[in-house]
Structure 1
Amino acid sequence: MLSVQLFAIIGIPMVKRGDDIGELIVAAAEKQHLRIEDGDVLAVAQTIISKAEGEIVDLRTITPSPRAIEIAKKIDKDPRMVEVILQQSSEIVRLGHVIITRTKQGFVCANAGVDRSNVDHEHVTVLPSDPDASAAKIRETVKKRLGVDIAVIITDTQGRPFRCGCIGLAIGVAGMKPLLDMRGWRDLYGKELKVTVTCPADSLAAAAVMIMGESNEGIPAVLIKGAKYEKGNGTICEVIRAPELDLFR
């Protein structure tokens, strides 16, 4: 019987700039006698990646531009925060009670992924500049330390345009194809699937974020066993829909 198991990796210390996330995860897993094995998936929260890579901004050092000040007045937001959002964005997609932007990495999300949670007061985290590379670095560390071949997913939590409630999704991958192309497969009645492409990376990220939590749980990494995915050198760019194919803009 197919089963998927998820295990919280506990005991990871507060991450600071320059820390090796892969080493921290391996050490924490060993302390709780949790074996990382071939085919497993490590889901790692974006926040600790950003902290380790120095992607933290002190708002006290930010001087808002006139554009940031203008937008901040419209949406009742800290103009320094708005300035950071603009700096992390390639375009503003929509401006309402939140700022929907396309980030420099290509993601369309609220506030360019800039986040005040789980960092010191007056600081915010921004998304890793290259989440795929961040995932690859963790995967390589685990392979060197344990001799196992795993996949790594960097997770973030984002809202959705037509549904309430935020959900976990993948913003970086290594060692896996983020999509699973099921076109040509047969359904229960033998009919050929024509358009079905699933996203195991997002599905696994969503499951992992349920365990990570959203507040003070202190669980930034989850080990997933039994997941169904295609191994390979995938990239999160495969998941991002090209602007010309966006039906809702």
Structure 2
Amino acid sequence: MLALFALHGIPEVQAGDDLGTLIGDVADGLLEDGDILAVTSKIVSKAEGRIVQAADREQAITDETVRVVARRGMTRIVENRLGIVGAAAGVDASNTPEGTVLLLPLDPDASAAALRTTLEARFGIRLGVILTDTLGRAWREGQTDVAIGGSGVRLLDDLRGSLDTQGRRLDVTVPATGDEIASAADLVKRKSAGLPVAVVRGLSHLLDDDAPDARVLIRSSATDMFRLGTEEAWNEGFEAGKETIAPLPFNLSD
């Protein structure tokens, strides 16, 4: 049976806080072997001091950007240094002190691994940790939480080669379990309730010490059919057109 609940009592996180201790203190007596913790990346960013002044937000977005995918007015959809495509490179002004914005953790996978190591050592049980962040989705209204970091959890559950209930072979089915867990956990964490950590119970079959990190969820450019934004696609098409247009057999000035 799948069960989810948020951990209550985590204080406001400050730069330099030991996040493993803060979470462990409120989780004492509540965790079981095989649990997965879904941790909002904002509290990791705060503990790691990934805070900049709000006046520098646009520059922060630029600094975190690897590639601009699309732009509409002041809104930029970009690929950030983690390979994630989303609005504003993950630079966020919500749930942060007035006058500041938060950057994403430098290495979400390493942060997840550190939390997992601390909590497993403290409680003597096997755990998984997923770091989550909120993203919009192409062609869909609203936002949902996704996994941007992980440790000890299979973030993709490769079912290719197995059979469905009718005995047919599955050839392309690879559920994004990391994103599904992050999204489900958001239902109990909620955005404005001050509950940044959820416990997900009943998915111990996904725990895997050798599971790849969250970059496994990012589609490679070679297989991404929607890699280009409108402006990029237009510019590439325009340049390709200039290269393929044959020269006229006469001079227009004649």
Instruction: Report the TM-score when normalising by structure 1.
Output: 0.87
RMSD of the alignment, in Å?
A: 1.2
Partner-residue secondary structure (3-state), 1:136: helix
CA distance in 2, matches of 1:212, 1:110: 22
CA distance in 1, matches of 2:183, 2:70: 25
The superposition leaves residues 122-178 of structure 1 with CA deviations (integer Å, 9 ceiling, x where unpaired) of 100010010000000000000111111100000101100110000011000001121
CA distance in 1, matches of 2:221, 2:46: 30
CA distance in 2, matches of 1:210, 1:172: 19
The match for 1:88 among 55, 64, 77 is 64
Equivalent runs, 1:33-72 vs 2, <5 Å: 33-34=29-30, 36-60=31-55
> What letter matches 1:28 in structure 2?
V
Partner-residue secondary structure (3-state), 1:243: coil
Partner-residue secondary structure (3-state), 1:49: helix
Return the index of the structure with the highest Cα Rg. Answer: 2
The match for 1:16 among 8, 14, 21 is 14
Long gaps (5+) in structure 2:
229-254
CA distance in 2, matches of 1:113, 1:204: 20
Q: Which residue of 2 aligns with 1:176?
A: 153
Partner-residue secondary structure (3-state), 1:172: strand
Equivalent runs, 1:214-233 vs 2, <5 Å: 214-215=191-192, 217-227=193-203, 228-233=205-210
CA distance in 2, matches of 1:131, 1:22: 14
Partner-residue secondary structure (3-state), 1:143: helix
The match for 1:235 among 204, 213, 225 is 213
CA distance in 1, matches of 2:21, 2:35: 17
Residue 59 of structure 1, CA deviation? 2.9
Q: Is the 8 A contact 1:180 1:230 kept in 2?
A: no
Moved more, 91-100 or 138-147: 91-100
Residue 81 of structure 1, CA deviation? 2.0
| Number of residue-to-residue matches in the alignment | 224
Equivalent runs, 1:96-111 vs 2, <5 Å: 96-97=72-73, 98-111=75-88
CA distance in 1, matches of 2:67, 2:24: 38
Residue 244 of structure 1, CA deviation? 2.2
Partner-residue secondary structure (3-state), 2:206: coil
> What letter matches 2:220 in structure 1?
A
The match for 2:140 among 149, 153, 163 is 163
Q: Is the 8 A contact 2:127 2:207 kept in 1?
A: no
Runs of 4+ in 1 over 4 A off after TM superposition: none
The superposition leaves residues 19-41 of structure 1 with CA deviations (integer Å, 9 ceiling, x where unpaired) of 111111110122xx42x122110
Instruction: Report the TM-score when normalising by structure 2.
Output: 0.85
CA distance in 2, matches of 1:11, 1:44: 14
Q: Which residue of 2 aligns with 1:70?
A: none
Residue 230 of structure 1, CA deviation? 4.5
Long gaps (5+) in structure 1:
61-79
Q: Is the 8 A contact 1:176 1:231 kept in 2?
A: yes
2:102 matches 1:125:
yes
Partner-residue secondary structure (3-state), 1:38: coil
Percent identity over paired residues: 41
CA distance in 2, matches of 1:120, 1:25: 21
2:124 matches 1:147:
yes
> What letter matches 1:156 in structure 2?
D
CA distance in 2, matches of 1:219, 1:210: 11
Residue 58 of structure 1, CA deviation? 1.5
The superposition leaves residues 97-144 of structure 1 with CA deviations (integer Å, 9 ceiling, x where unpaired) of 421111111111110000000111110001001000000000000011
CA distance in 2, matches of 1:232, 1:195: 25
